[in-house]
Amino acid sequence: MTPVREISAQVRTGIVSILTIIIFFSLGFRLYQMQIIEQEKYQKTSEKNAIKEKIIEPYRGIFYDRNWKVLVDNEPGFTLRIIPYYFDTTVIPVLENYFKLKNGYIKYLLKANKNFSPFIPIRIQRGLTFEQISWLEENKELLPGVEYTVDMQRSYPFGVRGSHLFGYCKEISRKELEAKKDYYIMGDFVGHNGLEKYYEEYLRGVKGKQFIYVDSKGREVGPVNEGKNDVKPVSGYNAQLTIDGELQKLAEELLTDKVGAIVAIDPSNGEILSLVSKPDFDLSNFASLTPASIWRELNSDKNKPLFNRATSSIYPPGSCYKPISAFAGLNDGIINEKYVYSCGGGFTFGNHFYKCMGTHGGLNVVHAIEKSCNTFFFSLILKNGFERWTKYGTMFGFGQKTGIDIYEEIPGILPSIEYYDKIYGKGRWTKGYVVSLGVGQGELGVTPLQMAVYTSAIANGGILYRPHAVRKFFNPEANPKEIVIPIESKKLPIKPEVMNLVRQGMFLVVNGAGTATHVRIPGIHVAGKTGTAQNPHGKDHAWFIGFAPFENPKIALAVIVENAGFGGAVAAPIAKKLIEFYLKDRSKDVQNLAANKN
């Protein structure tokens, strides 16, 4: 009996094993069928509710001027979005036709975002009109996965344009997205240039998240866990700029219908008071959807309004650069205050005669600056030597970026022996190439910003500050609550007596018998230097650099107007109006306001 029982047990075990295997394979096949073969069907209908992750955009930081006037603010705008999970691709032609989108644009965005969660909305178009919103509301049931949201976009309530200073935001590029996937998604707007770009990480804030139950048709049912898992957004840091809004507005007005730039600086700390490049453009056109016609117009304009002339355009500085040769000669003892050179109307070197602005007779360095005597400085650069001239140009920041908190900056060109060897070949250039550098011509190229920084260093007695347009950031919701931008500077190794001589020369340019006597302002001593930069492509460029009050400078500036001729006739009067407004006219307004309050 025992063998029969053993066989029976083995049979039962075998049957159980076979049944187990059959059940296992049946379940496995069914899982395969549901998860692989019929995955799309069950993904759409398997569950009544799903959790939708809704991104809450933070408010972007606001720009205030130095006197707490709002220059750049936020205002509500409407944005078209689609949620890929619920979106029916058959409505793409309808959307692209109604919103006048480029054919295939929505498919491109869907493909670009395929690696992100299908519940994350994709921005399609900003700046929707009330008519477009009404259309979306009317056709809501026919457009699954299509929605509009209220976003913030930039506004400029004070009336300052600030095109090249503030910059604007635009949709993030694929390249930028690859580098910053930790925060951004396709369709996000980021700072594209100017301060908006330089301080993007401070201004953007931190996104919030809201978790919502939605049904199979994408309709919102209610918050998940009563909103306890939601993450509140944190607004971006607000910025107090160093800019004087009123001065900026006036500078923009004074360059209307002109091509050029103005940069004004506080000589005591390097704060930018005003930075203007003209022609410019209206930033409000970039706040939401930029019309294609405006974009084409800006790009085709021969005067290049998108180009920042204040920081990225180089010009020969003309006579405004003569103080560099004076510093080099005086500071290294090549000449002194008593050194006199006689001007007979020009300077002969080799077979070439370099003409002066007049016949000045015997001049020392102070009066050579006052009279802007070319002859004196043609001879001085040869007396100093090329290397010394380059050394002092480098000392004052030429041939290098200033480090301003705007990315769009170039270093300019400061010729040197190495530079000429590279351009012309070693031993293939002569001192004749150097002579014109003594009066700020030749291959020398500077930016208006560099000229303002250099003027500021003369104004304050020899401290070279890194220019900056933001004073501090603040946000009571953030940690830290305040971030103060550090002041960076270096003391130039210029002897005080040498600095005084050059400053005295610039004082006489305006207050003596110099080239800018019409810049005098009653009650304010202005010091400056005019410059007329030769332009091979047309009329000369007009320069003026200056600072005031001479005794305790509060403002230093550089003004250039392209193709405007003599610097004293065009650029200097603009500088006068700006200095007078900043130091005199507005102080009266403040006094009158205080009197009225009393």
Q: Are strands 352-355 and 70-82 parallel, antiparallel or unpaired?
A: unpaired
Residues 40-61: pLDDT tens digits?
655 555 444 577 677 788 999 9
When mean pLDDT is compared across 183-197, 250-264, 278-292, 450-464, the lowest value belongs to 278-292
d(CA 590, CA 2): 118
Helix ranges restricted to H, 339-477: 365-371, 374-384, 386-395, 417-424, 432-435, 448-459
**Residue 514: pLDDT above 90?**
yes
Q: Which CATH number fits domain 245-279+307-591: 3.40.710.10, 3.40.50.1820, 3.40.50.300, 3.40.50.280?
A: 3.40.710.10
Confidence grade of residue 194 (pLDDT, cut at 50, 70, 90): very high
Q: Which two tokens stand for residue 258?
A: 């002109």
pLDDT of residue 319: 95
* Residues 6 or more apart in contact with residue 15 via CB below 8 angstroms: none
- Greater pLDDT, 100 or 36: 100
Segment 283-294 shows an average pLDDT of: 78
pLDDT of residue 151: 81
**Residue 260: pLDDT above 70?**
yes
Confidence grade of residue 5 (pLDDT, cut at 50, 70, 90): low
Segment 564-590 shows an average pLDDT of: 83
Segment 10-22 shows an average pLDDT of: 73
Share of residues in the chain with pLDDT > 70 (%): 90
**Residue 226: pLDDT above 50?**
yes
Residues 331-377: pLDDT tens digits?
999 999 999 999 999 999 888 898 898 899 999 999 999 999 999 99
Segment 551-571 shows an average pLDDT of: 91
Q: Is 596 helix (H, G, I), strand (E, B) or coil?
A: helix
pLDDT of residue 116: 75
pLDDT of residue 215: 67
Domain ranges (residues) in the chain: 52-241, 245-279+307-591
d(CA 100, CA 92): 12
pLDDT of residue 596: 46
When mean pLDDT is compared across 447-456, 567-576, 583-592, the lowest value belongs to 583-592
pLDDT of residue 587: 56
d(CA 218, CA 428): 76
Query: What DSSP assignment string belongs to 116-153?
Result: S-TTS-EEEESS--HHHHHHHHHTGGGSTTEEEEEEEE
Segment 372-387 shows an average pLDDT of: 96
Segment 271-296 shows an average pLDDT of: 87
pLDDT of residue 48: 41
Segment 104-117 shows an average pLDDT of: 84
E strand residue ranges, 526-586: 527-533, 541-548, 555-561
pLDDT of residue 405: 96
Q: Are strands 63-64 and 238-241 parallel, antiparallel or unpaired?
A: parallel
In the predicted model, what is the mean pLDDT of the chain? 88
pLDDT of residue 292: 73
d(CA 35, CA 566): 80
- Greater pLDDT, 508 or 123: 508
Q: Which two tokens stand for residue 177?
A: 């997205």
Residues 121-142: pLDDT tens digits?
888 888 888 999 999 999 988 8
Q: Which two tokens stand for residue 224?
A: 């998940």
**Residue 95: pLDDT above 50?**
yes
Residues 412-470: pLDDT tens digits?
999 999 999 999 999 899 898 999 999 999 999 999 999 999 999 999 999 999 999 99
Share of residues in the chain with pLDDT > 90 (%): 62
Q: Which CATH architecture has domain 52-241?
A: Alpha-Beta Complex (3.90)
Prediction pTM value: 0.85
